[in-house]
Every structure is written in structure tokens, then in C-alpha cells.
Structure 1
Amino acid sequence: MFDVDWNSCIQCGACVAVCPLPGFTSQFDTIATHRPCDVSCMACERICPVTAISSEPGPDDDQLA
């Protein structure tokens, strides 16, 4: 899952441009938030110029630790 800090996001579209999943965008032209990502490449988090994107552990991830 991903979280976007909307106070920091400048809506540059870089995250959408590098996302390999077609249609994995929100109504604000950013990556979809609070949806599981099937690829988990983290390209969107790395490309964000203002570090507004962060990954969140999924509901089952705490059981793996």
C-alpha cells in the first residue's frame, strides 16, 4: 500500500509516468493510495522529487516479522 502526503505532493505526475501498472492512478493523477500494488517495484517512491510517497505495510506484513 502507498500513502501520499498531500501537503507535500506537487502533482508533477512523475509517479504516474514510471508506474508499470496501467490504471494504477488516483483521480488526482498520482499513484493510487490505499490499494495494494501487485508489482511493488517502489519506482514511484524513488522518483518523487518531494518524497511525498511512502509505502505502508500491508495488513499481513506484520505477521512476517
Structure 2
Amino acid sequence: MANSGIEWIDITFNFCVRLLYDIGNLLGITYEEINVWLFVFIWPIASLVLFAEIIRLRLKISFMNNSRGN
């Protein structure tokens, strides 16, 4: 599968591809379909949720710091 010439990258890539094939077989979908679900839907949604959480926590810290100062 992988042929980057960097062994640890090739091992990691091959492991991930095999994992996606196994999950696809478990769910009854193809490798391509699971790739679309993962990288077009799940990853962007997770990134947005994490970004919103960072903003929420920064606002909370800011509010707590302002409350202490008064």
C-alpha cells in the first residue's frame, strides 16, 4: 500500500487503511464510503465542536478573571 520510503509513516498508513477496511466491513459499507463519512462529515463537525468548546472555555476564563478583579 504505502510507499513513502519512511517506514513509520508507511506502517501507520497501512494500519489506518486496514482499520478503515475492517470498520467498513463491520458496518457494511465500502472503504470509499467510510472515507467520505470520516473526512467530509465527521472530522469537520468534530473540529467545529472543538473550536466552539475552546471559545466557550476562553469566555469562561475571561469572565472568571473579571469577576475576581472587582
TM-score strictly above 0.5: no
Which has the higher relative contact order, 1 or 2, with Cα contacts under 8 A spaced 6 or more apart? Answer: 1
User: Which protein has the bigger helix share?
Assistant: 2
* Higher alpha-carbon Rg: 2
TM-score of the pair, normalised by structure 2: 0.29
User: Which protein has the bigger strand share?
Assistant: 1
TM-score of the pair, normalised by structure 1: 0.30
